[in-house]
Structure 1
């Protein structure tokens, strides 16, 4: 499995976790403007999956809850995000 495929798998896990979270899903949908159809089609879009990880990583509590529920290390979302489109670290030097 490539790094990108692995990153997409982590992001899909985050999307599934988010979709199952009755309190947080409406917050994500409100912030992103994504409806139910967008969530389904976005599951195959690496850029959308990156936005899911961006959202989850906005709050350490969400990261811990997602990682604990998914059996992942706490740095997995950050590493996955870096491998998806738009997740590159910008170096200004």
Structure 2
């Protein structure tokens, strides 16, 4: 069984994911388009609640992006989904 990340670990992973997206224009542009952000206000948005969960949600929305990100860090891709859940709180059906 994979251990669920702590909040600090989930935040650190999301920041790594943001750096991964920002390292290539073809990665960051779709994220900016989806969120309505631009490079000038990206840093400010990073401090907003839910932003880091949105970064991980974006990474997880594309299998190829998720596999590339997880592969670069030698992580099980499921960790990204676990970290997103930690940052965004429980889903309505997670109350078991």
Into which bin does the TM-score normalised by the smaller protein fall?
Answer: 0.7 to 0.9
- TM-score of the two chains, using structure 2 as the length reference: 0.82
Shift of residue 59, structure 1, vs aligned partner: 1.0
Which string of whole-angstrom CA distances, capped at 9 and with x for unpartnered residues, describes residues 42-76 of structure 1?
33334101111111111111100111112322111
Aligned position for 1:75: 78
Please list every run of 5 or more consecutive structure 1 residues that lacks an aligned counterpart in the other structure: none
Q: Contact conserved, 1:8 with 1:46, CA < 8 A, in 2?
A: no
Partner Cα distance (2:74, 2:42) in 1: 23
Matched positions, count: 91
Correspondence for 1:3 among 1, 6, 13: 6
Of the structure 1 ranges 62-71 and 11-20, higher mean CA displacement relative to structure 2 is found in: 62-71
Greater fraction of residues in helix: 2
Q: Secondary structure at the match of 2:92?
A: coil
1:24-43 alignment to 2 at 5 Å? 24-43=27-46
Relative to the length of structure 1, the TM-score reads: 0.85
Partner residue in 2 for 1:89? 91
For 2:87 and 2:28, locate their aligned partners in 1 and report how far apart those are by CA, in whole Å. Answer: 22
Cα deviation, residue 11, structure 1:
0.4
Q: Are the equivalent residues in 2 in contact too, given 1:14–1:56 (CA < 8 A)?
A: yes
Pick from 50, 54, 75: which aligns with 1:51?
54
How well do the aligned residues superpose, as a CA RMSD in angstroms? 2.0
Partner residue, 2:67: 64
